[in-house]
């Protein structure tokens, strides 16, 4: 192979190599970002679960004879948890690219995070009203 042909061939291979490097770097960043997003979702879901455990325990202790009436509507939290469950099941049943799937659903995950926080605050208010 003459030097000019070798230069052209090396340039073409170099261009493909650079594209591959950029795609790999982008994928690594995507997976890192999705990991953070999934950890936030896990953390917030666990916080809600712990508060629900406390609510269940306290209301069980109160029983029906306490005469205390609590204001809590569980329809919105139920809907949020069902949507969370559907999202998680879709990610689990899909390809093993959970990080990429999470980022593709980033707006949905962000919405779920916001709603989980609101539900947590509502439960904390009910817990505080029981405590007082």
Q: In this structure, which long-range contacts are made by residues 101-107, counting pairs with CB atoms below 8 Å and at least 24 apart in sequence?
A: 101/34, 102/34, 102/37, 102/38, 102/41, 103/30, 103/33, 103/34, 103/37, 106/37
| Residue whose entry in the numeric block shows the structure tokens 């000019």 | 4
For position 65, what pLDDT does the model report? 63
User: What are the tens digits of pLDDT across the range 9-64?
Assistant: 777 777 787 787 777 777 677 767 777 888 888 899 999 999 999 988 888 887 76
For position 1, what pLDDT does the model report? 64
For position 115, what pLDDT does the model report? 94
| Residue whose entry in the numeric block shows the structure tokens 């953070």 | 36
Give the residue with greater pLDDT, 46 vs 98: 46
Split at pLDDT 50, 70, 90, the class of 98 is low
Give the residue with greater pLDDT, 126 vs 94: 126
Check: pTM over 0.75? Answer yes or no.
no
């Amino acid at each position: 192979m003459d030097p000019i042909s070798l230069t052209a061939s090396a340039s073409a291979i170099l261009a493909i190599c650079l594209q591959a490097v950029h795609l790999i770097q982008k994928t690594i960043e995507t997976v890192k970002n999705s990991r953070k997003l999934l950890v936030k979702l896990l953390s917030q879901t666990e916080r809600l679960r712990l508060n629900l455990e406390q609510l269940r325990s306290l209301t069980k202790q109160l029983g029906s004879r306490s005469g205390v009436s609590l204001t809590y509507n569980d329809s919105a939290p139920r809907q949020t948890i069902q949507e969370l469950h559907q999202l998680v099941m879709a990610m689990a049943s899909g390809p093993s690219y959970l990080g990429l799937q999470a980022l593709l659903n980033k707006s949905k995950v962000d919405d779920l995070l916001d709603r989980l926080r609101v539900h947590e605050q509502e439960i904390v208010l009910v817990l505080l009203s029981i405590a007082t």
